Structure 1
Amino acid sequence: MVMRLPIVAATFMVASVSIGTLLGVAAPASAQEVITCSSQNNQRNTCSIPIRGRVRLVRQLSDASCRGNWGYRNNRIWVKNGCRAEFLVGDRRNGRYDRNDRYDR
């Protein structure tokens, strides 16, 4: 019995690790990507979005204000009046954005 205990313990450990590995593999919570979009010479510009979903401005890169100078529709972000920023594009179902995160005017 003394020899079997280490074998039983080792078998139990391997089974536990295997089950833990299988259960620990989770699908990504949501697909998200950061896109940089820039208005050159104060002109309106659009940038394509590789994934559909909500868009929110996460970091303004320009001296010009982006408030009211960006928005999105379908698979494009638009910027104008010198706005240059990084935008987070995410899954609508898992995103926790509200209408104040979007300045689509």
Structure 2
Amino acid sequence: MKHGKQAWLWALLPAMLALGATAQAQNYDRYRDDGYNSGPVRCESIKGRTQQCPLQGRARLVRQISGSPCVEGQTWGQARDGVWVTQGCRAEFIAEAGRGGRWNGGGWGHNNGGRGQVLTCDSNDHRRQRCVANVRREARLIRQTSRTACVEGRTWGWDRTGVWVDGGCRGEFQVN
């Protein structure tokens, strides 16, 4: 009986893996529909070394993979033709397209045509905090001010009524 259960599980495993891959691909397809250039690019700092990965457009961290923090401007950042990571940061990035961003050598300047606002939201003592704002289209992290990683969907997120942060994430968010 034991071998029958194992055979059944091994037969089911490829189908489960395929479903997971399909769900992940569909999740990243929404970025393409929302004005991003492509699916995710994985960039990894191995043994603490700096690594640069090609990415056309303004990089946005969508998933941190490492246990080491990925803090924009400290352990990851924008390069002329891509994104760089260092000190063990490993993450997946997407490239924003047509967001009005302009690389100025030290960061990104955004011309949002008077639309949107910048909102500061801090999770102090690792407590969940909600910052009220009228979000019409999106909220995005533009500057992380904490050492704790701000990872969308895990330590920060948004809905139509504002931005929430948790787990020590502190940052500035552009709300459109």
Residue correspondences, number:
72
Matched with 2:143 is 100
C-alpha separation in 1, matches of 2:52 and 2:63: 17
Q: Kindly provide the CA deviation profile for residues 38-85 of structure 1, in whole angstroms up to 9, marking residues without a partner as x.
A: 001001111111xx2211111100011111200012212100000000
Q: Of 61, 64, 81, which aligns to 1:57?
A: 61
More strand per residue: 2
Unaligned runs of 5+ in 1: 1-27
* TM-score for the superposition, normalised by structure 1: 0.58
Listed as ranges, the gaps of 5+ residues in structure 2 are 1-32, 102-137, 145-176
Q: Deviation at 1:32?
A: 3.0
The CA RMSD measured in Å over matched residues stands at 2.4
One-letter amino acid of the counterpart of residue 82, structure 1: G
Conserved? CA contact 1:39–1:82, under 8 Å? yes
Rg bigger for which structure?
1
Name which of structure 1's ranges 77-86 and 29-38 shifts more when overlaid on structure 2.
29-38
Q: How high is the sequence identity, in percent, across the aligned residues?
A: 33
